Amino acid sequence: MAELSSLAELGAATGQTGTQPAAPVHVQKLDKQGRAYATGKRKDAIARVWVKPGTGKIIINDKEYAAYFARPVLQMVLRQPIVATNRDGQFDIIATVTGGGLSGQAGAVRHGISKALTYYEPGLRSILKKSGFLTRDSRTVERKKYGKAKARRSFQFSKR
């Protein structure tokens, strides 16, 4: 058995080079109509989102986004990935959302828009990832336990 005197020799002996593996290359994923599709999730809400080039219309469940999400905070949450990437007015977004409440649905649509934008323009991935829009917020409602009034709340104690 031959003696190895350095790590470079060990790499050469095992057939490995000293360079790091190349970063994954993200490619554009489009359907036959030229749209990018992604699924976004938050709490119990699931959003199916399609992004295509257009004038900046955002349609959610066949309604304008301002009509569907009446609160300005939810509208702002929804538009965060578009504003962060300076793509305001460049894409038409169509989404269908089910489950959960309005806050969870807005978060799900935001997650879906972010993923769909990265599928359409892979160069935007670093901006959206740095802002945290590609991370699925996994916090959900804690389940109710046996012998408890709610998830953690106990029944009222009676001394006598």
pLDDT of 131 over the 80 cut: yes
Instruction: Please count the CA atoms within 13 angstroms of the CA of 59 that sit on its side-chain side.
Output: 11
pLDDT higher than threshold 60 for residue 19: yes
Q: What residues contact 155, with CB distance under 8 A and at least 6 apart?
A: 148, 149
Beta strands in 36-100 (DSSP E): 36-42, 45-53, 58-60, 63-64, 91-98
The whole-angstrom separation of Cα 100 and Cα 46 is 8
Residue 5: what pLDDT?
A: 72
Please tell me the distance from the alpha carbon of residue 3 to that of residue 145, in angstroms, as a whole number.
Answer: 62
Whole-prediction pTM: 0.80
Higher pLDDT, 27 or 100: 100
Nearest to 45 by CA among 100, 84, 94, 126: 100
Check if the beta carbon of residue 78 is closer than 8 Å to that of residue 103: no
Is pLDDT at 62 greater than 70 in this prediction? yes
Report whether pLDDT(21) > 90. no
Separation CA 99–CA 41 (nearest Å)? 10
Least confident of 20-34, 41-55, 79-93: 20-34
Q: Is pLDDT above 60 for 1?
A: no
Please name the amino acid found at residue 48. Answer: R
pLDDT at 14 over 80: no
Interval 65-115: pLDDT, tens:
999 999 999 999 999 999 999 989 999 999 999 999 999 999 999 999 999
* Average confidence (pLDDT) over 105-131: 93
* 27-131 CATH fold: Ribosomal Protein S5; domain 2 (3.30.230)
Would you state the pLDDT for residue 97? 97
Helix (H, G, I), strand (E, B) or coil at 99: coil
Q: CB count, 10 Å around CB of 54?
A: 13
DSSP state of 33: T
How far apart CA 37 and CA 119 sit, in angstroms, is 8
Query: Is the per-residue pLDDT at 10 higher than 80?
Result: no
**With bands split at pLDDT 50, 70 and 90, how would you rate the model's confidence at 47?**
very high
Asked if the model's pLDDT at residue 12 lies above 80, the reply is no
